[in-house]
Structure 1
Amino acid sequence: MSQYLIPKSAVVFEEEIKKSRFITYLSHVENITQARNFWQELRVLHPAARHHCWAAVAGAPDDSQQYGFSDDGEPAGTAGKPMLSALQGSRIGEISAVVVRYYGGIQLGTGGLVRAYGNGVQQALKQLETDVKILRQSYSLVCDYGQINWLQLLYEKYNIVIESQDFTDKVWFQLAISEDNRGKFEREIQERSAGQLIIEKIRR
């Protein structure tokens, strides 16, 4: 997966079901640790709530190592899993959902809870604005001063980000290049430079 959607800003969605208040929060997170921190923040913000259930797809949408969820005292499988299913269905990455429940005295049953928690996340997702995250790898490129101008045009053409540059007897660039564009960019610089220019992957 070379790119995917991520949340642009936070969302809050609230509804009342049989006298229980369900408040759904969505936020951008970059890993499971941040997702857990977001959950803890909302536990502090809503100390009187009965449950603070959460789910996260804290990395790329297809990275199951970054999935997480908790029913936080609700019957097993009635909160965290339907919340996670809603997030997975959206194909949005780096996202965490917390649903805060203020119990209203009327039990909803397992089916009612699954619908309440899953639907809360789905409704919040409808309000969510997103950005596209493009995954890039860092490469180094060394060139002569006379090659800078046409290289700059290629950086724009292939949506390449200059992470850093250094001007000495040569010009050294550290470039962030998406996998989708790497091959085409590499072929074009080799053609234009008669094979003189190459890019080298930077190991982190």
Structure 2
Amino acid sequence: MSQTGYVTPAATIERELEIKKSRFIARAGLVADRQAALAFVEAVKADYPDARHHCWAYLIGNPDTSASAAMSDDGEPSGTAGKPILNVIQHKGIGDVIVVVTRYFGGVKLGAGGLVRAYAGSTQQVLADLPLDEHRPQRAFTLAFDFADEQPLRHWSDQHGAQLQSIDYGPRVTAQLNVPLEQVEAFEAFLGAQGIERLGATDDD
């Protein structure tokens, strides 16, 4: 698996474009999976219930690899909305992103070419202003250790950008920790030195 990160949305933003009296309102944001993407679309529909179209596209995962993607024309002529939105997303190299473009029809037909330009232009505009974060691939570790090992583990995590996701105090302490892939080798060495038991590990790209 590649150890290179990719950029993701750091916020949800909206931008509006008016073309021949039609209003195009583009909203972009962060989504982790298809379920979150569809919920994002429903939230936009709830905010603009009287709009004629809510066209969208999303791309989940690393945009440089075989990421998961989908799109919808939502009643616009086939290929004139979802595909242009997705094309712009793919050219921007952003992962875990959705763009929903809501259209209020202004009474003037734009034609297929005009629609493609409008939906692509709306997507360009919102993505140009979108603040971004870097997504760093991580490995999730499940660990078991004695109570005395907790403080050294927390200290190592703070020093190396690892994130403690959960901790459970039983007869032994169990914890889940996300470690950046470039730090995994050092973490394995730390576990060995401390005598901390590794119950499992999974990669998140």
Normalised TM-score (structure 2): 0.80
Checking the alignment, whether the CA contact within 8 Å between 1:35 and 1:58 is kept in structure 2 is: no
Larger C-alpha radius of gyration, 1 or 2? Answer: 1
The residue that corresponds to 1:126 in the other structure is: 128
SS of the residue corresponding to residue 68 of structure 1 reads strand
Cα distance, 1:81 vs. partner?
A: 0.5
Pairs within 5 Å for 1:52-201: 52-62=54-64, 64=66, 66-142=68-144, 151-165=153-167, 172-187=174-189, 189-190=191-192, 192=193, 196=195, 199-201=198-200
SS of the residue corresponding to residue 127 of structure 2 reads helix
Checking the alignment, whether the CA contact within 8 Å between 1:54 and 1:96 is kept in structure 2 is: yes
Structure 2 letter corresponding to 1:107: K
Give the direction of change, closer, same or farther, for the CA distance of 1:25–1:145 in structure 2 (3 Å limit): closer
Gaps of 5+ in 2: none
Checking the alignment, whether the CA contact within 8 Å between 1:186 and 1:199 is kept in structure 2 is: no
Cα distance, 1:184 vs. partner?
A: 2.8
The residue that corresponds to 2:23 in the other structure is: 21
The residue that corresponds to 2:53 in the other structure is: 51
Give the direction of change, closer, same or farther, for the CA distance of 1:114–1:187 in structure 2 (3 Å limit): same
Gaps of 5+ in 1: none
Greater shift in the superposed pair: 117-126 or 153-162: 153-162
Give the direction of change, closer, same or farther, for the CA distance of 1:35–1:63 in structure 2 (3 Å limit): farther
Deviation per residue, 1:171-193 (Å, 9 max, x gap): 65432222221123223554x56
SS of the residue corresponding to residue 73 of structure 1 reads coil
Give the direction of change, closer, same or farther, for the CA distance of 1:35–1:22 in structure 2 (3 Å limit): same
Greater shift in the superposed pair: 169-178 or 16-25: 169-178
d(CA) in 2 for partners of 1:37 and 1:164? 26
Checking the alignment, whether the CA contact within 8 Å between 2:138 and 2:178 is kept in structure 1 is: yes
Deviation per residue, 1:131-183 (Å, 9 max, x gap): 23334332244556676665444323321122344567866543222222112
Deviation per residue, 1:61-118 (Å, 9 max, x gap): 3565631111112221111001011112222222211111112222222222111101
Checking the alignment, whether the CA contact within 8 Å between 2:6 and 2:94 is kept in structure 1 is: yes
Structure 2 letter corresponding to 1:4: Y
| Aligned length, in residue pairs | 201
Match of 1:42 among 38, 41, 44: 44
User: What is the aligned-residue identity percentage?
Assistant: 36
d(CA) in 1 for partners of 2:191 and 2:76? 58
Checking the alignment, whether the CA contact within 8 Å between 2:57 and 2:82 is kept in structure 1 is: yes
d(CA) in 1 for partners of 2:39 and 2:144? 42
SS of the residue corresponding to residue 37 of structure 1 reads helix
d(CA) in 2 for partners of 1:72 and 1:167? 50
